[in-house]
A and B are shown apart, each in its own frame.
Chain A
Amino acid sequence: MGSPLGGWPSYNPHNFSQLVPADPSAQPSNVTPATYIATHRTDPPPNQVITTESRNILLRHFYQKSEEKLRPKRAAPDNLAPENSNKQARGAVADVGSQSNARS
């Protein structure tokens, strides 16, 4: 492998193409862009004013436990979802695994 320098990513080859480097002896530039003033409505959409759940962590834990006890039948479908994702996960791992196998 050659020099790690160079081959810099380019998103738009024109960017900085016409930039003239500032004279190093010149004073640093002191330009501030126009100041933004919000004279329009700035309220977020109605349900997007976020607060933190008021129940504390311990109480939440108790409630979760008690809910699980009260509804044991619900446990089955609840468990399905993670299983599904586990399957996907294994697939991803398997990919990596096969590559590493191929290499070794």
Chain B
Amino acid sequence: MSVWNYVVTAHKPTSVSHSCVGNFTSPNQLNLIIAKCTRIEIHLLTPQGLQPMLDVPIYGRIATIELFRPHNETQDFLFIATERYKFCVLQWDAEKSELLTRAMGDVSDRIGRPTDNGQIGIIDPDCRLIGLHLYDGLFKVIPFDNKGQLKEAFNIRLEELQVLDIKFLHGCVKPTVVVLYQDNKDARHVKTYEVALKDKDFVEGPWSQNNLDNGAGLLIPVPAPLGGVIIIGEETIVYCNANATFKAIPIKQSIIRAYGRVDPDGSRYLLGDNTGTLHLLVLTHERERVTGLKVEYLGETSIASSISYLDNGVVYVGSRFGDSQLVKLNLQADASGSFVEVLERYVNLGPIVDFCVVDLDRQGQGQVVTCSGAFKDGSLRVVRNGIGINEQASVELQGIKGLWSLKSSFNDPYDMYLVVSFISETRFLAMNMEDELEETEIEGFDAQTQTLFCQNAINDLLIQVTANSVRLVSCTSRELVDQWNAPAGFSVNVASANASQVLLATGGGHLVYLEIRDAKLVEVKHAQLEHEISCLDLNPIGENPQYSSLAAVGMWTDISVKIFSLPDLELIRKENLGGEIVPRSVLLCTLEGVSYLLCALGDGNLFSFLLNASTGELTDRKKVSLGTQPISLRTFSSKGTTHVFASSDRPTVIYSSNKKLLYSNVNLKEVNHMCPFNTAAFPDSLAIAKEGELSIGTIDDIQKLHIRTIPLNEQARRICHQEQSRTLAFCSFKYNQTSMEESETHYIRLLDHQTFEFLSTYPLDQYECGCSIISCSFAEDNNVYYCVGTAYVLPEENEPTKGRILVFAVEDGRLQLIVEKETKGAVYSLNAFNGKLLAAINQKIQLYKWMLRDDGSHELQSECGHHGHILALYTQTRGDFIVVGDLMKSISLLVYKHEESAIEERARDYNANWMTAVEMLDDEAYIGAENSYNLFTVRKNSDAATDDERAKLEVVGEYHLGEFVNRFRHGSLVMRLPDSEMGQIPTVIFGTINGVIGIIASLPHDQYVFLEKLQSTLVKFIKGVGNLSHEQWRSFHNDKKTAEARNFLDGDLIESFLDLSRSKMEEVSKAMGVPVEELSKRVEELTRLH
């Protein structure tokens, strides 16, 4: 039963709601602080651009953030208020690199109607108080005392009930707010109030202004000495102040929701409107008096939700609807008349309105294709876990036993030869003049035997190690220069080399160490070990890239790895690996300046150790399972950074991010050998030996999730994949705004699922919009169709009363309309169901049969239906069961009775949840998301004793996700090995408005219990930033109830165990009574679910 669920983020929120600039991390560092729903990002302004410093999870949805400078402080503090009425004030302690909580608290009131227009949190420019508008008719004040400490908060009655914006005015003797509000005749006005801190009340302020633009929605306070406020409307911009200065200018109709102050004196502001146009508002002034307003067009950006002027004409544009951007304001317009130059774009998947999971390679690993962004910033995003190898060339070659690349001279930047070893021969490939690989000869090398190792060496030499000998060959003449022969009766089993050293092992546990001196091989040292040697490595990790002072050796029999010092071949460390599986590959490497020893076993497990490069000491032992077959490890470099490639049945790239080792799978089925192959024709490429094939490919950027953007310039709303036709189809709309009229045009579009090339478009009728799309087939018809549900959204109707179901076939890459059926409402959801089509149409669930007419054509014929919903928005089916997610009546379970040809309600959840998505986890358990950002699971009570109980879906799990989920889909972002334990865990992917892609994994009960214990232990060690409580954050909360989270685990918290320092891990381990290694392994396994 899938009721013990683990929720984890695969892609963090990227939609930006707020941003601000100040000296947060140090008095002389300028920081950009970005709020992304439940996270804060801190960046540093540098000559090279924005340097990301920290990503700070906040236990709350951020309602407001503001930087402020209390009196007598040299750097700014950060004020954060959350939607669930908590707030905190943070200060950066640069010495300890810690975020200190200066103050925190709860600003909720027991009685109060939450504001409709969002929460407002503002700080007096003279730091006398924090003002909060959280409930209609109330203004909450948190006063500062003269030492900058916060005092007890109090409420002030605010007469204006429909508040649109409140700001503090600058340069006022008493703290003064300006309130923009709407009266009960829908007219908009501004009014000022002085806050009398002593009397805890408002005093009528110095001025007011009635009858503003009906679309006035934003106030911009102007700093002293100008003072006053700018009121941004949809058709006018107005400036007014206490001296009755009143300046107004008309603007082209637009909705401006974001502004950024440019000059500290407030003479210029950047304004961003709903079409993504950036304007400059100029306040002309003489002798501290505003004389006029001017608006200049600057150019186009993403539709802005926040604008922060950074420095030297560079501006950050934060967006909820598209990618956020770093832009430069130029003095001269470019060819298109724009003064805005985009310097950098930052990925934003939000809002994810819908997505589908596509398993292109049929490997059990899905890639997610999202409908992302809104309006002109709409796009499809292809999100794939792991690292892609893009094959450039391949050739059939059977039985490859090893692969090395060689340069034609030691200092050549590019590789020239590819050495391919087979069981009884070695072949040499080289790049010819036409940039093709062709077979060549290296005369000094032994081509009649298997090669064990190859390497470029100093003095322009090439090294080849075979079972019998080590050969040194000149790069220029390709002739043999020197040779070391294995002692009679012994053959070399394993070998490794670098530019000046060779280490090899022969049977009988003999370890031989050679150095290259004056183009000669010199046997420096020999050691006899007690067991046979299974693998070895002397990759230089010290300062000298041509010489290693350490060697790693893996052993048969006692299953250990040993570290020897060079050149004396002294054993300095032995690490027993335990178990019975022999180490097959060892590697010394340095990633992001941290040295590691990696040791891979014959069963696909990998040990990693931190390695002290001078003492050889090994610490921080960790074990992860990468695959099931022996692994071979090799370093490679991509874009100047070193990574490790682990060849096995589940090839993996091991890389370091923020000094932590991460494992990312590669989109190849099985790789036997890999070597870097960096040539002029194939720069930064890899040569890869698979079963029966040698290929050369380039590698994606090394990061866990790979995201590809397909810009649409319109908004996609529903998407679906059809494997048979190798296409994707989606419903989208384009927003047309002419000078007077606004209209939308809706389309069904068809794309190639591999190239994402547009194949075909079907325009919908006027006022008709696509609401649902599926790929399905019908009983007694072998064809596969796209079925689209639509609604006619007429301006005069509250709910649509007409819609259509359109059935398309894909013929020659085109959408061909086969059947259309009119419906009596919006077709919110469609499902393929028992060879028929199930549709959710307004309040009704309707089942259609696919009927063959006499003329050979088909029609949809209504079979049966089920009434009784407010709006049936989401349906999912399994067998004969139908789960319906209602607009406001939670989840109900219906059943289709074949013999009676009827749909009946079996059970329902009687809570009044406003649903945003539903999915069936299995036959018994269903998951729902509702519009207060909660998740819950319900269970069918089929064994209950009474009918009443059976008619009730029992709520078994509750959890506050803090994200608005638009869609659940079964599937996995990672390759699932069916024979592994984790491969058995079913997962559901979800997508949210803020651009989060998350995973819900249904765990076995014992694993759930273990992790629940780990979570409750971790809460004691990992604190909420700002001292916000994890328990309160994750408690189910909507306007009807608050309940402790149950049967859901916070995977983000659990997986942060791996980011703890070793000493903290040990404390957790002690509290849990489970060894650190075991804990790490179990948590690592969880990270591989996403």
> Contact residues of A with B, CB < 8 Å?
1, 3-6, 8-19, 21-22, 24, 27-45, 47-53, 56-57, 60, 64, 85, 88-89, 92, 96, 99-100, 102-103
Contact = CB atoms under 8 A, between A and B. Distances in A.
Closest 9 CB pairs of A and B: A50-B105, A33-B52, A34-B658, A28-B345, A8-B313, A48-B103, A15-B311, A42-B1023, A19-B49
B16 to A, nearest CB: 13
A5 B339 contact: yes
A50 to B, nearest CB: 3
Nearest to B309: A9
B47 A85 contact: no
A28 B709 contact: yes
Contacts of A42: 99-101, 1023-1027
B174 interface: yes
Given A5-B331, A44-B102, A19 B1023 contact: no
Contacts of B155: 52-53, 56-57
13 contacts: A8-B313, A21-B328, A28-B709, A29-B344, A35-B57, A39-B1022, A40-B98, A42-B1024, A44-B104, A49-B104, A50-B105, A52-B140, A64-B200
A87 B328 CA distance: 46
B259 to A, nearest CB: 16
Interface stretch (B145-153, B247-255, B747-755): B145-153
A57 B98 contact: no
Nearest to B93: A40
B594 to A, nearest CB: 14
B359 to A, nearest CB: 22
B488 interface: no
Interface string B625-666: 000000000000000000000000000000000100000000
B1043 interface: no
Nearest to B327: A21
A34 B341 CA distance: 29
Given A4-B294, A10-B312, A28-B323, A37 B104 contact: no
A51 B328 CA distance: 44
A43 B12 CA distance: 27
Contacts of A12: 30, 45, 311
Contact of A38 (B49, B200, B1022): B1022
Contacts of A34: 54-55, 658
A9 B1060 contact: no
Nearest to B383: A30
B347 interface: yes
Contacts of A4: 268, 280, 282, 294, 296
A15 B101 contact: no
Contacts of B88: 44
B157 interface: yes
A50 B658 CA distance: 36
Nearest to B104: A44
B622 to A, nearest CB: 18
B723 interface: no
Given A37-B1022, A50-B142, A44 B1060 contact: no
B109 A52 contact: yes
B707 A27 contact: yes
A31 B43 CA distance: 12
A57 B200 CA distance: 9
B710 to A, nearest CB: 11
Contacts of B264: 9
A1 B268 CA distance: 14
Given A1-B284, A50-B104, A53-B154, 20 more contacts: A4-B294, A9-B311, A10-B312, A13-B312, A15-B30, A16-B328, A28-B346, A32-B52, A35-B1056, A38-B99, A41-B1023, A42-B1023, A43-B101, A52-B106, A60-B154, A64-B200, A85-B174, A96-B288, A100-B289, A103-B289
Interface in B39-61: 41-43, 45-49, 52-57
A24 B300 CA distance: 14
Contacts of B294: 4
B563 interface: no
B1027 A15 contact: no
Interface in B502-533: none
Interface string B233-276: 00000000001000000000000000000111000100000000
A18 B343 contact: no
Nearest to B379: A28
B347 A30 contact: yes
A52 B52 CA distance: 36
A66 to B, nearest CB: 14
Given A8-B262, A36-B1025, A64 B96 contact: no
Given A8-B312, A8-B313, A15-B311, A21 B707 contact: no
Given A9-B263, A50-B104, A103-B286, A35 B47 contact: no
A94 B39 CA distance: 47
A51 B342 contact: no
A30 B707 contact: yes
B156 interface: yes
Contacts of B705: 30
B157 A57 contact: yes
For A16, A102, A103, the residue with the greatest tally of chain B CB atoms inside 10 Å of its CB is A16
A18 B47 contact: yes
Interface in B205-249: 225, 243
Contact of A16 (B103, B314, B1023): B314
B858 to A, nearest CB: 43
B94 interface: no
Contacts of B834: none
Contacts of B43: 33
